[in-house]
Amino acid sequence: MLTRRRLLVALGATGASLLAGGAAGCGRSDAPTLQRIRESGVARVAIAGEQPYGFSDASGRVTGESPEVARLVLRAVGVDGIEAVQVPFDRLLDILVAGHVDLVAAGMTISPDRCARVAFSRPDFVAQPAFLVRRGNPGRLRSFADVRGRVRLGVLGGSAEQGWATASGVPADALTAFDGQSSLVRAVADERVDAAALTRISLLDEVRRNPGLQLEVTRPFPVRVGGREVVPAGGFAFRREDTDLVAAFDAALTAAHASGDWLRVASPFGFGAANLPPADLTTAALCAGTA
């Protein structure tokens, strides 16, 4: 059921109040999370409304790569459905840690700073960033190094791209953070920023759905932080104490990657075999910053 999702779409202070008000009715019980969601048949997930990772379609159904993979994996561990809460991207981990949801299904990049707060599944996918620019790419942007000192760059607040841009030397006064993907794209179209950085999968989806905006997506580019190339891998986030849930989820996700089921449910959202994580890529290495 999606009734709770419709009630708890959190946008700023209003959403925070809704979440706080709903906590008494949906807080964690004393039972381990995996046991509780198996008994109830429903896992509470957080999404950010970012296409194609996690969003509501025209009928109100929560979909996207991450919710669909979550449904697939959770069924394999004995949980029949999901109930979703949408919040701004930079609040996803807050509501997870607070216990309002059981996992984050939003295509979140696994990074050392996030690993300090939460546990992550094994890598779900890899997806390189790109820039959204006006047609012709007048700034000739090919990497974050091209942004430094001469380009106004838009990013999603709390995103990996925001952190990578900062780590790459993009000055704070050249960065503008937006709380949603649509506002980020509109800022480029309205020339309030010169470009936006996000995963190339997301940006291609935006251009496909908005052909009249006169925008284009650059080629993907590698990100280097501290002299090391970063692996841009996304996963599902959990509370650190939910080790049994993470272990069960990982086993089922590994099986879905191997069987082709992951590709079947992810491909409608622009993912292909090239987005499958390498077999030797581990969450531990991504969290340690050594991948």
Q: Is the pTM of this model over 0.75?
A: yes
Q: What is the pLDDT of residue 225?
A: 85
pLDDT value of residue 5: 39
HSE, side-chain direction, 13 A CA sphere, residue 25 = 7
Domain 3-126+232-288 and domain 129-230 have a common topology: yes
pLDDT tens track, the chain, 291 positions: 333 433 344 333 334 433 444 443 444 567 999 999 999 999 999 999 999 999 999 999 999 999 999 999 999 999 999 999 999 999 999 999 999 999 999 999 999 999 999 999 999 999 999 999 999 999 999 999 999 778 999 999 999 999 999 999 999 999 999 988 999 999 999 999 999 999 999 999 999 998 889 999 999 999 988 888 999 999 999 999 999 999 999 999 999 999 999 999 999 999 999 999 999 999 999 999 888
pLDDT of residue 2: 37
Class of domain 129-230: alpha beta
Per-residue pLDDT at 80? 95
The structural domains of the chain, with segments of one domain joined by +, span 3-126+232-288, 129-230
CATH of region 3-126+232-288, choose from 3.20.20.70, 1.10.3720.10, 3.40.190.10, 1.20.1050.10: 3.40.190.10
Angle of the 243-259 helix axis to the 33-40 helix axis, nearest 10: 60
The predicted pLDDT at position 29 comes to: 62
